Amino acid sequence: MYSSILFLHNAARWAVLLFAVYAITKSILGLLHKREFTKQANIAHAIFVGFCHLQLLLGVTLYIISPNVDAALANGFGAAMKDSYSRLIVLEHITINVVAIALIQVGRTLSKKATDAAQKYKKSLVFFSIGLVLILSRIPWQYSPLWR
């Protein structure tokens, strides 16, 4: 079960990154060309947020059942914080990505509540971009089986 969920989590990463670029591009183009907020832009934003939530669900499930987290915490939390890999999987990866997804959700919510198209694009662009940078900063590229 663990390896299946890990595979899905790794595969979903690429969907999150792809739809992040798509949603951010839609926002940039909407702002630059002073476009109305279209149904297509709304769908792009919704898909991006949806994949972020799926990724969070898979990640939390992995965190709960992961033998890597158990092994990292075998000698206690203090020992895990002294090792960069253990610190990444026990604390940094999950914490930063939860914050990133929360910011992405805030951007989506503020964008939906805005009445002006420019404000919709601007709010989504700012929050989605910050979220994406945070996500990119904590993807464990060097340990990923799909990266090698």
- pLDDT given at position 72: 85
Helix, strand, or coil here: 36? coil
So where are the chain's domains?
A: 2-143
The model's pLDDT over 9-52, given as tens digits with 9 standing for 90+, comes to: 999 999 999 999 999 999 999 999 999 999 999 999 999 999 99
Q: Which of 102-106, 108-112, 119-123, 142-146 has the lowest mean pLDDT?
A: 142-146
Concatenated DSSP letters of 115-147 = SSHHHHHHHHHHHHHHHHHHHHHH--GGG-TTT
Q: pLDDT tens digits for 136-148?
A: 999 887 766 555 5
For residue 139, the tally of other CB atoms under 10 A from its CB is 17
Q: What is the DSSP letter of 1?
A: -
List helix spans (H) across 33-116: 39-65, 67-72, 77-82, 84-87, 93-113
Return the exposure string of 61-97: e unless at least 16 CB atoms fall within 10 Å of the residue's CB, then b. bbeeebebbeebeeeeeeebeeeeebebbbebbbebb
Compare 145 and 4 and report the one with higher pLDDT.
Answer: 4
Residue 5: pLDDT band by 50, 70, 90 thresholds? very high
pLDDT on residue 73? 86
- Across residues 83-87, what is the average pLDDT? 87
